[in-house]
Amino acid sequence: MKTHLRSGSSPRYLLQTVEAQQPRPALWLVVVDRSDDGSLQWLQDATQGRPWLQTVAYPEAPTEYLGAHIARLKRFALEQVMERSDDRGDGTRFAGVLDADVELPVDHYARLMEAFEKDAKLGVVSSLLQVEQDGERRNEPFQRGDLPRGPTQFFRRACLDNIGGLPPFPGFDGAANVKAQMRGWRTQLLPHVKALHRRPTATRFGEAPGFARKGRYAWYLGVHPLLVAARTLAYTRKAPHTAGYHFLRGWLQDAAKGVERCPDPDVRMGYGSRRLWQAARAFLGRGYQR
Q: What is the pLDDT of residue 204?
A: 63
| DSSP state letter for 264 | -
Position 164 scores a pLDDT of 96
In the predicted model, what is the mean pLDDT of residues 140-166? 95
Give yes or no for a contact between 92 and 157, defined as CB atoms under 8 angstroms apart: yes
Does pLDDT of 9 surpass 60?
no
Judge whether 119 and 186 are in contact, CB under 8 Å. yes
Give the pLDDT of residue 290.
31
Q: What is the mean pLDDT of residues 267-276?
A: 93
E strand map for the chain = 2-6, 28-33, 53-57, 94-99, 102-103, 122-133, 136-139, 154-156, 186-197
Of 38-47, 68-77, 219-228, the least confident: 38-47
Q: Is the pLDDT of residue 68 over 90?
A: no
Long-range contact pairs involving 156-161 (C-beta distance under 8 Å, separation at least 24): 156/93, 156/94, 156/116, 156/122, 156/123, 156/124, 156/185, 157/82, 157/92, 157/93, 157/94, 157/95, 158/93, 158/123, 159/123, 159/124, 159/183, 159/185, 160/78, 160/95, 160/123
Give the CATH class of 2-197. alpha beta
Give the residue among 153, 203, 158 at the shortest CA–CA distance from 3: 153
Instruction: Enumerate the domain spans of the chain.
Output: 2-197, 207-289
Q: What is the per-residue pLDDT across 87-134, written as a single tens digit (0 to 9) for each?
A: 888 888 999 999 888 889 999 999 999 999 999 999 999 999 999 887
- Summarised one tens digit per residue, pLDDT across range 164-220 is 999 999 999 999 999 999 999 999 999 999 999 887 665 665 789 999 999 999 999
Looking at every residue in the chain, the average pLDDT score rounds to 88
Report the pLDDT value the prediction gives residue 89, as an integer from 0 to 100: 87
Structure confidence at residue 2 (pLDDT): 52
* pLDDT beyond 50 at 6: no
pLDDT at 119: 98
Kindly tell me if the per-residue pLDDT of 242 is higher than 60: yes
Share of the chain above pLDDT 70, in %: 88
d(CA 58, CA 64): 14
Rounded average pLDDT over 7-29: 80
Please tell me the distance from the alpha carbon of residue 139 to that of residue 189, in angstroms, as a whole number.
13
Cβ atoms 222, 261 nearer than 8 A: yes
